[in-house]
Amino acid sequence: MLFSAILTGLVLGGTYALIAMGLTLQYGVARIMNLAYGDLIIAGSFGAMLLFTAAGLNPLIALFIIVPLGFALSWLVYALMLQPLARRSPNRDRLEGDSILATFGLLFVIQGVALVLFGANYQSYSFLAVPIDVLGTTIAANRLLAFALAVLFGVGLWLLLTRTRFGTVIRAVAANPGSAPLVGINVDHVARLAFALGGGLAAAGGVVVSMYLTFSATMGVIFTMKALIVVIMGGVGNLLGALAAGLILGVVETLVSSFIDPGLTLAATYLIFLAVLVVRPQGLFGKAAR
């Protein structure tokens, strides 16, 4: 029973980690606190649903269409809307404030477009809702897929960031955007790329969660909140941190739900969040304050 609960929790945590990874890139590297992040996830979900119901396209294949679209859209958003903000900001705090306001507006633009196109109704379809037996515990295949993708993206991007020259460049920008140009790094370019990469990840998350979660045009903010908790808990800009924090949240929620009371899952989530903030304000994997 305990083992089964932990396994279920890990799979739930995979979903949390998956939806948080893009945000940690956008916030950690591009320094954009993107409040429209959840709405991009919803946009990905709508895209997958549309392709699945109208064109009969397998959501797994739809990933290869929607992720590049999310990447391109975020690239455009950064180039048109956020780059001017980043250029004129004297410091990080100012950019954070500006980007919160700008993306707050963007949130309503994306939401409004979704409302016009799809209405306010709940949307849901079912894909890969097949039971898979994992060491005696029955788990839905679509949730297992979300977990696998989260681990894949988390570890893959972590390797990219720590083992490649390109990753070093991104980390340089994350660590000190003021000094990075001194060693020949185009900060604008790198930040835009990181933001777009985050958008692609958000779209990927949207496609995967649409297979098993009910969504509606106005639900983006729920995803943004959850992702934000995971990002802060794991350490801003740290992909492994996001993975770990997501998994911890999932396991704790499931344990509390199974052994104490389902009504206390939210309380447990925020208790853990609070504990992390008190003990390690920089997040589980975050670097100490600059």
Partner 1 sequence: MTTLSRRTLLQAMGTGALATALASLPTFAQDRTAIRIGYAVSKTGANAGGAGISTIPNYLLWVDDVNKAGGLELSKLGVTLKLEVTEYDDRSSAEETVRAIERLATQDNVDFILPSWGTGSNLAAGPTFDRFGFPQLAGTAVTDMAPQLVQRWKNSFWFLGGGHDYANALVDLLVKQRDAGAINNKVAIASVADGFGIDLSKAATPAFQAAGFELVYDKTYPLGTSDFAPIINEVSGLGVDTFVAFSYPPDTFALTQQAVVANFSPKIFYLGVGTAFPIYPNVAGPNHNGVMGVGGIDPDSEAIAAYFERHTALVGQAPDSWASAVTYASLEILGQAITRVGDLDKSAVAAEIASGEFDTILGKVKLVDNQLRALWTVGQWQDGKFVGLAHTEGKAAREPVVPKPAWVPAS
CA distance linking residue 219 with residue 223, whole number of Å: 7
H helices present in the chain, as ranges: 2-28, 37-55, 59-77, 83-88, 92-118, 141-163, 165-175, 187-210, 220-234, 239-259, 265-279
Judged by beta carbon, residue 220 or residue 283, the one nearer partner 1 is: 220
CA distance linking residue 31 with residue 38, whole number of Å: 17
Site track for partner 1 across 107-146, x = CB under 8 A: ----x---x---xxxxxxxx-xxxx------xxx--x---
Judged by CB under 8 A, the stretch of 27-35, 40-48, 92-100, 251-259 that binds partner 1 is: 251-259
CA distance linking residue 26 with residue 157, whole number of Å: 13
Judged by beta carbon, residue 98 or residue 253, the one nearer partner 1 is: 253
Judged by beta carbon, residue 122 or residue 166, the one nearer partner 1 is: 122
Judged by CB under 8 A, the stretch of 5-13, 37-45, 157-165, 274-282 that binds partner 1 is: 5-13
Judged by beta carbon, residue 14 or residue 237, the one nearer partner 1 is: 14
Judged by beta carbon, residue 152 or residue 264, the one nearer partner 1 is: 264
Is residue 101 involved in binding partner 1 (CB under 8 A)?
A: no
Is residue 214 involved in binding partner 1 (CB under 8 A)?
A: yes
Helix H or strand E encompassing 131 = strand 131-134
Helix H or strand E encompassing 215 = none
Contacts with 266 (C-beta within 8 Å, 6 or more apart), sequence order? none
Query: By rule CB under 8 A, what count of residues binds partner 1?
Result: 42
- Residue in the structure block whose two tokens are 């396994």: 7
User: How is 32-47 classified by DSSP, letter by letter?
Assistant: ---TTHHHHHHHHHHH
Judged by CB under 8 A, the stretch of 164-172, 174-182, 197-205, 217-225 that binds partner 1 is: 217-225
Instruction: Report, in Å, the least distance between residue 144 CB and partner 1.
Output: 11
Instruction: Report, in Å, the least distance between residue 124 CB and partner 1.
Output: 5
H helices present in 29-89, as ranges: 37-55, 59-77, 83-88
Q: How many CB atoms lie within 10 A of CB 85?
A: 19
Is residue 273 involved in binding partner 1 (CB under 8 A)?
A: no
CA distance linking residue 220 with residue 143, whole number of Å: 19
Is residue 216 involved in binding partner 1 (CB under 8 A)?
A: yes
Judged by beta carbon, residue 126 or residue 176, the one nearer partner 1 is: 126
Both tokens of residue 141?
């295949």
CB 243 within 8 A of CB 154: yes
Judged by beta carbon, residue 16 or residue 158, the one nearer partner 1 is: 16
Instruction: Report, in Å, the least distance between residue 145 CB and partner 1.
Output: 13
Binding site residues, partner 1, CB under 8 A: 4-5, 8, 11-12, 15, 111, 115, 119-126, 128-131, 138-140, 143, 212-218, 222, 250, 253-254, 257-258, 261-263, 265-266
